[in-house]
Structure 1
Amino acid sequence: MNSLHPNHPAWRAALIDLDGTMVDTLGDFAVALNAMLGELALPPIGRDFIAHTVGKGSEHLIRRTLMEVDGVDDRYEEAWASYQRHYRRVNGEQAEVFPGVVEGLLRLQRAGVPLACLTNKPTAFAQALLEKKQLAGFFRHVFGGDAFAQKKPHPLPLLESCKALGVPPSQVLMVGDSANDAQAARAAGCPVILVTYGYNHGEPVREVDADGFIDRLDQLVPG
């Protein structure tokens, strides 16, 4: 299949999202968030809520979780410290690499496509997860939500990642699972492909403005 609309130039590098794109991390989020809530003597949260909420960074996830179970987020600082501790402990234990990811990364690597992982997950957590799932070696750079002054859907992380790869944005493909990734790519001038199996805040991913959709990462055709 063609990865991009014919009007797009061939891409020479790629930025790949992590949660919902390469790794199913809902299990990790569920364990860490519910351990945090238990410490705060608050009720647990369900996986559906988590799937609809992840993707905009840990700060957003924690604030939304507190609002959902308590109606206020005035215990954010306490919750943040607890969540960080629990997530560091469980990072990768309940997570699974999606089918086709390793094969897709191998194809891109063999084609000589420079890659960076670009995620809103904190950089240290992202790096540790990639290493645990034996994916770290595919990437020249790993940029998390704390790597730059803004997070996706702001274009800044994409523009800075393109600079790090030494390739202009118009020739750097963004691969993600949500409107966050697509909006950031559009604003940065990058082509964008979305996977169909990710989270996308509970909304149908094919309704997002993107250049194409794939069911597995190994369907990507290097430009």
Structure 2
Amino acid sequence: MKSFAPHAIFFDLDGTLVDSVPDLAEAARRMLAELGEPTRTDAEVATFVGKGIPMMVERALTVGRGPVSAERLAQAIPVFMRHYEATNGKLTRAYPGVAETLPVLKARGLKLGVVTNKAEAFIAPLLDELGLGGFFDVLIGGDTLAQKKPEPEPLWHACEQVGVSREAVLMVGDSGNDALCARRAGIPVLLMTYGYNEGVPVDTEDCDGLLSSFTELPALLA
């Protein structure tokens, strides 16, 4: 695999830095129970993650079950948000190597950021709960801008926020959504093999390399 010489690295959150499915699934189950809908397993919810909360809620309601009205979806989203506020960070864990590797990257003088489709309100509390918040110079959520991944604007906005040109950035994610965002933004991208990727094999995605462990990242940096 080729090496990279970035001045900044931007990470996806769910499926890249943290395994958040247990909390997301519990919030989804509470939402479904409150709405009188059938429940979902953790494995099902794992395939719903990646395009932001509205899409995840819609998938929880509809996949294998048929469509719902726009009104029903609009009713369900705030219910999920309320329950996720209660579950966020309770069962989520950083993936192996993340807590050990982030300080190594910071020690090299790199700017670090999170660019995720998770709603912005949930990002900092989750990172702080896991003791990771102090490593990041910028946090971009799915509702920070009018556009979210796979549109390129969130990555470009992150570049502007840390004062680094697009040519000096690396994206690290776990899904085709991350890869497409980076491609559209003109930024190289590495994908973790342990993430979610909506049930699609990650080795089928257009990216610049695959990592099976977070600890492999520093060795790829020139």
Pairwise same-fold verdict (TM > 0.5): yes
1 CA distance for matches of 2:64 and 2:205? 29
- Aligned to 2:42, which of 44, 47, 53? 47
2 CA distance for matches of 1:104 and 1:190? 22
1:57 aligns with 2:52: yes
Task: Look up the match of 1:110.
Answer: 107
1:191 aligns with 2:188: yes
2 CA distance for matches of 1:149 and 1:37? 28
Q: What is the CA distance between 1:63 and its match in structure 2?
A: 1.1
User: Residue type of the partner of 1:128?
Assistant: P
Aligned runs of 1:16-95 on 2, under 5 Å? 16-68=11-63, 70-74=65-69, 75-95=72-92
1:43/1:69 contact within 8 Å kept: no
2 CA distance for matches of 1:190 and 1:170? 7
Q: What is the CA distance between 1:48 and its match in structure 2?
A: 2.2
1:117/1:141 contact within 8 Å kept: yes
1 CA distance for matches of 2:66 and 2:40? 13
2 CA distance for matches of 1:216 and 1:101? 9
User: Residue type of the partner of 2:16?
Assistant: T
Task: Look up the match of 1:14.
Answer: 9
Task: Look up the match of 1:144.
Answer: 141
2 CA distance for matches of 1:170 and 1:210? 16
- Aligned to 1:208, which of 205, 209, 214? 205
1:105/1:138 contact within 8 Å kept: yes
Q: How many residues align?
A: 218
1:42/1:69 contact within 8 Å kept: no
Task: Look up the match of 1:159.
Answer: 156
2 CA distance for matches of 1:121 and 1:209? 23
Give unmatched runs, 5+ long, in structure 2. Answer: none
Query: After TM superposition, what 4+ stretches of structure 1 lie above 6 angstroms from structure 2?
Result: none
Q: Partner of 2:172: helix, strand, or coil? A: strand
1 CA distance for matches of 2:44 and 2:167? 35
Report the aligned-residue RMSD: 1.3
Identity %: 43
Give unmatched runs, 5+ long, in structure 1. Answer: none
2 CA distance for matches of 1:197 and 1:130? 19
Q: What is the CA distance between 1:73 and its match in structure 2?
A: 2.5
Q: What is the CA distance between 1:69 and its match in structure 2?
A: 6.3
TM-score, normalized by length of structure 2?
A: 0.94
Q: Partner of 1:186: helix, strand, or coil? A: helix
- Aligned to 2:165, which of 165, 168, 174? 168
Q: What is the CA distance between 1:68 and its match in structure 2?
A: 2.5
TM-score, normalized by length of structure 1?
A: 0.94
Q: Partner of 2:170: helix, strand, or coil? A: strand
2 CA distance for matches of 1:147 and 1:73? 27
2 CA distance for matches of 1:34 and 1:141? 31
Q: What is the CA distance between 1:70 and its match in structure 2?
A: 4.7
Task: Look up the match of 1:123.
Answer: 120
User: Residue type of the partner of 1:81?
Assistant: P
